[in-house]
Structure 1
Amino acid sequence: MRSEDSNTPWWERRTTMVLLTLIAFVPLLWPDIPPMVDLPGHMGRYRIQLDLATSPFLKQWYSFDWALIGNLGVDLLIEPLHWLGLGLEPSVKLIVMTIPPLTVAGFLLVAREVHGRVPPTAMFALPLAFNFPFIFGFVNFALSMALAFIAFGLWLRMARTGHLRLRAIVFVPISCAVWVTHAFGWGTLGVLAFSAELIRALDRGDRFVRACFRAGINCLPLTPPMVLMLVWRGQDPTAQTGDWFNWQAKISWFAMVLRDRWLICDMLSLAVLIIVMLEALRDKRLTFSRNLAISALFLLAVFIILPRIVFGSAYADMRLAPFMVAVALIAIRPRPETDLRFRRSVAVVAALFMVLRLGANTASFWLFDRAYDRELAALDHVPRGARMMSYVGKDCVTPWMMHRFEHMPGLAIVRREAFSNDQWVAAGAQLVRTHFPTGWRYSRDPSQIVTGPRCRGEVWWPLNRSLAHLPRERFDYVWLIAPRRHDPRLMEGMTEIWRQGSSSLWRIDSRAAPAAAADYPIPPRIIRVR
C-alpha cells in the first residue's frame, strides 16, 4: 500500500478519510430522538429491558428474558451506557448516530485495502450509510452491516500482510460478535469473504472448483455462528419464511435504497449512482476491482434468491439492496494511467454529491424531529403507569415520505412507563413478551396502525372499527396520532385533554361502548380474538 507524501491527492489522505467519517455524524446531531420508523418501538423494549425489575407498572404487562439470538446489537450496548448513568434517550441517540460513521469507515477501509488507495469514486458510495433500511429503524441490522464491512476490511488486510493463521484465530470471535449484533451482518461478511478468497485462489492459478473449495476452507473461521443459528431458530420452528421472487417488490427495494423524504431528490440521487456505474462500464478511463465486482455479483444473487420474509422477519431482501449498490460503487476506480485532471474532476463531483446528499438527510431529520416534538407533547398529559391504546393513521398506499409515527407509541413506555400496544411479538426474534388481557387487536403490533377504509390484503383495521370495539375497561387513555377521518360519535364517553392538529389525547371516562359502535360491526370473515 502506498505511503502518503505531499503529492498524495487529497481524497487519498488519511485526514480526508477521518473527515469523511466524522461528517456522517452531522445529520443526526440535532434530533434528540433519531426519527426512524421502528426505533421508538425498540426504545420501548429497551426501557422494559432496563427497568422491568424496578417498575411496578411495566411488570404488570411485560416480561423480558435474555436469550442468545442473532439480533442483540443495540440491546447489549444499552446496558453499559445505562450503568454509566447516561439515560436511555441519550444512549440510544449516541449509539444510533454512530452507525453511519462506522458504515462510512467500513466502506473506506474496504476501498483502501482492495485498491491500495481510496479512489475518488468511493465517495459516491458514502451517502448509502443513510440507506432506507437504516432510516426504517433496523438499527441492529444496520450496526451489524457496519461491523461486517469493518471486519471485511480487516479480513483483506490480514490476507494482504500474510497473517492467515492469526486471521483464522481472531475471526472466530469476530464472526460471533457480528452474528450476535444481527445475523444478517454475519451472512454478508461470509459472502464478501468467500468472494474475496475465491478471487485470491483464482489469481494463484487454481481451477474454479478447486478455488471454491480453497475459499470455503479459508472461510471456516466464520462458520461457528452456524451452531448458534441452528439453536436459535430451533426455538421457533414455526417462524414463517416466504414471498419468494417477488420481482415487483425487489425492483421497488432497489429504487428505495436512498429513500428519505423528497421523492425527486432521492430518485435523482439514485440516478447519479446508476450513471456512475454505467459510466464505469463504458468509459475506458474507469475499471472495476475483480474482487469487489465478484462480491457485488454474489450479493446480487443473494438479493434475488432471498424471500421477503425470513424466519418471521419482513423486508429481508430489501435490507441488502443498498449494500449491494455500495459494493458495486466501491469496486470502481480510475485506471492507473488515467490523468490526474480526470481523477480530480471525479473527486470534486463525488464530494459535491456526498455533501448535497448528507445536507438533504440533515434537513430531513431536522424537519422530522420538529414533527416528533409536536406529537410527543401529548405524553406530558399522561400519568405514569397509564394503560394507553394508541392509534397511528396510515394510508393503504404508503407515500414516499413516511411520517415515521408507526411506533411512536413505544415512547409512552420510555417516558411514562405506560402500556403501549405497539410492541412486536415474534417468538425467537424478540426478548419481550406482552401479557396484556386483550387479544392482539388491542395489545401488540400492528394493532396501533389504523386506516380510513379497509386495506385489501392487510391486517390493519379501520380506525372506526377498532374504536367501536375497543375494550374500554382495559384502558385509561386513547392516543390518536395523525389519524384518518373518523366518526366523532365513537369518542362518546371520553374527554379530550390535548390536541395538536389532527392528533389528540383522550381520557376514557365511561367504560360503556358508544351507541355508534353498532354501526361498525366486525365482518364474519374477521375473527375477533380476546
Structure 2
Amino acid sequence: MHGTARHNTVETSASGRLKRDEALWLGIFLSFLAALPALLAWTPQMTDYPSHLAGYQIMVDHGRDPFLTKYFQFKWEWTGNLGVELLMVPMAPLFGIELAGRIIVALIPILTGLSIISVSWTLRRRVGVGAILAFATIWSPSLLMGFLNYSLSVALALFAFAVWVQLDERHWTRRLLFIPAGFVVWLCHVSGWGVLGVMVFGYEWTKRRNWLDWRPFLKPWPLIFPLVPMLLGMGANSKVSYGGGVLDYKWGILYKAMRSYDYLLDVTSVAVLALVLFVAFVTRRIDGRMGWAALILFGLTLVVPRQIFGGDYADYRLSTTALLVACLAINWPAPRWGLALSGLLFTSRLAITSVAWYQDAQTARQMIAALDYMPEGAKVATAVAIPRSQWLFGPFEHFGSYAVVRRSAMENSNFALPDVHMLTMRETAFRFADPTQRILYSSNQRIDLRKFRPAVHAEYLWYIGKAKPVALPDGARILYSTSNSFLARLAIPADLANPVDGS
C-alpha cells in the first residue's frame, strides 16, 4: 500500500479550478440522480421493505388501533439498529407511514452519493475517477434487499470520516465531537459504526512512524463508547452462525458484491472495478488512507459470520462496502472524458434498476388491489413461491405485510421473532412470522397449498408467485387474482361440514 500515494499538488490555475468544480458538480448531480428508482416507483421495490414498513406502522401506532394491539406488541430497545425507526418517529405523523418510508428510501442513495463526494473532496480537494466509480456501489445488494439502517449508517459513517480528516489538526475538538458521533452512527446500525472505526484506523495507520508505532490503535478511542451498551446486552442478540458450505458461500458473496437485476452486468461490474483497482495498485495510484481500510473490510468479509446480532448477511453487506472504500482509495485524476466514462457504469446500472422498479411497481399496484377484498383486522396467511435459484432480488417476498399496513391484519411475513426483533406476535402458540411465508421450489416441483401450515391459523390466503399451485386448501374460494397472485377466502370448519354444493 502506497501510503498517501501520488498526492497531486492543488491546481491553482483558472482552468484547473474549473475542472475541479465541474467534477464536483458532476458528483453532486449523480448523487441526486441516484434517487431515481424511488421516484419512479410508487413504493420501494426492496425485498424486505414491506415488512419494515409494517413494523414502523405498529411502532408509531402506540396502541390506538385495536387490531394491531391485539395481534402485535412492540418494545423499544436501545440497540445498534435504529436508524430509520428513529426517523419515522417525527416523519410518520407529518407525511404518513408510506410516504415517509418512500422519502427515506430516496434520501439514502442521495446521502450515500454526497458522502462519497465529501470523503474524496476532504482527502484530495477534488473528485476523481475513484469517487465516480464508487457511485456504482450505491444501489448495493444491501440496499436492494432493504437493509435500510445499514445503508443509512454507511452514508453517515462516510460523512463522519470526512469530518475526522477535516479536523486532523484539531485533536481535542475531534475527540469531543466523535464521542457523540460514534453513538449516532452506532444507533443507526452497528455495522456502519464498525465501518467507521475501520476507516479511521486505516487513515491513522498510514501516518505511523514505523511498524512498531502503536498510536494508530489508540487514535479511534472516541468511537469505543457504544461498546458499553453492547456489553451490557441492551437489545443485543448473541447468536452467531456461519451457516453451511462456508467456502462456497464466501466465494459467492464476493462475486455477487454488485448483484442486482442483470447477471452479466453485475458480474462485469465487479470485474471492471477489480481491474481498475489492480491497475491503480500497479501504477501506485492507491491512497493508503482509504486503501488499508478497504483491505481490512475485504478481510472482514471473509472472517465475519453470516448471521450475527440476530441479523442475516452480516458479511455479505461488507463486500460491497469494501468495494466502495476501495474505489475511494483510487487517487487518479482524469480528464472530463475519463470522469464521464467512469460515470457510465453507475448510470447504466441505475437505468436497469429504475426500469425494474417501475415495472415491479406496476405489478405491485395490481396485486395490492386484493386488499379491497379483505376486512380490517383479518387473519392472512401469505404464501410466496420463490425459485431456489434466481439472481435478481424478488421484491414480493414480504409483500403480504401491506395487509398489516393498510388493513391492520395479522399476517405471517413480518420480522417478529422473540429475542431478535423489537416487534413480536402476541400469539405464541404457533409461529406466524417470517420466514413462514416462503415456499422454495425447484423447476420440477409442484406447489400444493393444502400443505401450507400458516393457512390453518388464517381466514385468508394470499398467494404470490409465478408458479401456479396444483391445489388449494379444502373449501378455499378465490376472491381476486392477477397474473402472479390471488387472494382466497379460507373455509372455516363449519363451512367444510356444510359445503355450499351439498356434496
Q: Which runs of 5+ in 2 are unaligned?
A: 1-9, 498-503
Cα shift at 1:227: 0.5
C-alpha distance in 2 between matches for 1:401 and 1:235: 31
The 3 A distance-change label for structure 1 pair 48 and 435 is same
**Contact in 1 for aligned 2:202/2:291 (Cα 8 Å):** no
Per-residue displacement from partner, 1:275-333 (whole Å, max 9, x unpaired)?
Answer: 22222234x4x611121111111111211211111133211110001111111111112
TM-score under structure 1 length normalisation: 0.86
1:479 aligns with 2:462: yes
SS of the residue corresponding to residue 295 of structure 2 reads helix
RMSD: 2.6
1 CA distance for matches of 2:29 and 2:388?
42
Report the AA paired with residue 240 of structure 1.
V
Q: Out of 427, 435, 448, which is 2:437 matched to?
A: 448
CA contact (8 A) 2:82 2:189 kept: yes
Contact 1:246 1:308 in 2 (8 A): no
Is the alpha carbon distance of 1:245 and 1:354 closer, same or farther for their aligned partners in structure 2, counting shifts above 3 Å?
same
2-structure distance, mates of 1:287, 1:360:
31
Residue 6 of structure 2 corresponds to which residue in structure 1? none
Task: Give SS of 1:63's match.
Answer: strand
1:370 Cα offset (Å): 1.6
Give the aligned residue type for 1:99: I
CA distance in 2, matches of 1:394, 1:408: 13
Q: Which residue of 2 aligns with 1:522?
A: none
Counterpart residue identity of residue 433, structure 2: R
Counterparts of 1:252-263 in structure 2, within 5 Å, are: 252-263=252-263
TM-score (norm 2): 0.90
Q: Report what 2:501 is aligned to.
A: none
Corresponding residue of 2:392: 401
Counterpart code for 1:193: V
Tell me if 1:180 matches 2:187: yes
Contact 1:64 1:431 in 2 (8 A): yes
AA of the residue aligned to 2:226: P
Q: Distance in 2 between matches of 1:236 and 1:281?
A: 40
In structure 1, the partner of 2:364 is 372
Task: Tell whether the 8 Å contact from 1:144 to 1:185 is kept in structure 2 after alignment.
Answer: yes
Q: Name the residue aligned to 2:347.
A: 355
**1:431 and 2:422 correspond:** yes
SS at match of 2:173: helix
Measured against aligned partners, the alpha-carbon deviations of 1:323-366 in whole angstroms (never above 9, x if no partner) come to 1111111111237xxxxxx6334212112222222222211211
Matches of 1:334 and 1:382 in 2, distance apart? 58
Q: Which residue of 2 aligns with 1:219?
A: 220
Other-structure match for 2:487? 505
SS in 1 for 2:167: helix
User: Relative to structure 1, is the Cα distance of residues 276 and 236 closer, same or farther in structure 2, using a 3 angstrom cutoff?
Assistant: closer
Percent identical: 28
Query: What amino acid is aligned across from residue 339 of structure 2 in structure 1?
Result: A
Q: 1:385 to 1:136 in 2, by over 3 A?
A: same
Aligned residues: 487
State how far apart, in whole Å, the 2-side matches of 1:190 and 1:408 are.
Answer: 36
Query: Counterparts of 1:279 and 1:15 in 2: how far apart (Å)?
Result: 27
2:336 corresponds to 1:299: no
Counterparts in 2 of 1:455 and 1:163: CA distance versus 1, 3 Å? farther
Q: For 1:158, which of 145, 167, 172 is the aligned residue?
A: 167
- Give the C-alpha shift of residue 371 in structure 1: 2.1
1: CA distance, partners of 2:184 / 2:13: 33
Q: Any conservation in 2 of the 1:396–1:451 contact (CA below 8 Å)? A: yes
Q: Is the 8 Å Cα contact of residues 417 and 433 (structure 2) preserved in structure 1?
A: no
Is 1:168 the equivalent of 2:175?
A: yes
Whichever residue aligns with residue 223 of structure 1, its letter is I
C-alpha deviations, 1:367-417, integer Å up to 9, x for none? 2212221221211221111110110011222x1123221111111111111
Q: Is the Cα–Cα contact under 8 Å of residues 37 and 137 in structure 1 kept in the other structure?
A: yes
Question: Are residues 405 and 104 of structure 1, via their aligned partners in 2, closer, same or farther at CA, if it must alter by over 3 Å?
Answer: same
1:120/1:343 contact within 8 Å kept: no
Q: Quick check: 1:97 aligned with 2:106?
A: yes
Counterpart of 1:526 in structure 2 is none
User: Is the Cα contact below 8 Å between 1:69 and 1:428 reproduced in 2?
Assistant: no
Name the CA distance, whole Å, in 2 between partners of 1:331 and 1:315: 25
Written as runs of structure 1 = structure 2, the 5 A alignment for 1:91-170 is 91-159=100-168, 162-170=169-177
1: distance between equivalents of 2:233 and 2:13? 47
Offset of 1:486 from its aligned partner?
A: 2.8
**Match of residue 192 from structure 1:** 199
Instruction: State the secondary structure of the residue aligned to 2:150.
Output: helix
1:379-394 alignment runs, 5 A limit: 379-394=371-386
Tell me, yes or no, if structure 1 residue 281 matches structure 2 residue 291: no
* Corresponding residue of 2:76: 66
Q: 1:491 to 1:187 in 2, by over 3 A?
A: same
> Which residue of 2 is the match for residue 23 of structure 1?
33
* 2:368 alignment partner AA: L
1:419 aligned to which of 404, 407, 410: 410
| 2:28–2:113 Cα contact (<8 Å) kept | no
State whether residues 425 and 432 of structure 1, in contact with CA within 8 Å, keep that contact through their aligned partners in structure 2: yes
Opposite residue 348 of structure 2, the aligned amino acid is L
**1:40 counterpart = 2:40:** no
2:487 aligned partner, one-letter code: L
Letter in 1 for 2:276: V
Letter aligned with residue 215 of structure 1: P
Which AA in structure 2 matches 1:371? T
Q: Distance in 1 between matches of 2:13 and 2:374?
A: 59
Post-superposition shift, 1:145? 0.8
Q: Distance in 2 between matches of 1:3 and 1:181?
A: 40
How many Å separate the matches in 2 of 1:22 and 1:403?
25
Mapped pair 1:228 → 2:255:
no
Cα distance between partner residues in 1 of 2:454 and 2:343: 54
User: Structure 1 residues 447, 121: CA separation in 2 closer, same or farther (over 3 Å shift)?
Assistant: same
- Cα offset, 1:216, TM superposition: 2.4
Q: Report if aligned partners of 1:121, 1:346 keep a CA contact under 8 Å in 2.
A: no
Amino acid across the alignment from 1:145: V
Deviations 1:10-44 (A, max 9, x none): 45544333222212122221112110001111011
1:318 to 294, 316, 319: 316
With CA pairs under 8 Å and 6+ residues apart, which has the higher RCO, 1 or 2?
2
Question: Do the aligned residues in 2 keep the contact of 1:409 with 1:420 (CA within 8 Å)?
Answer: yes
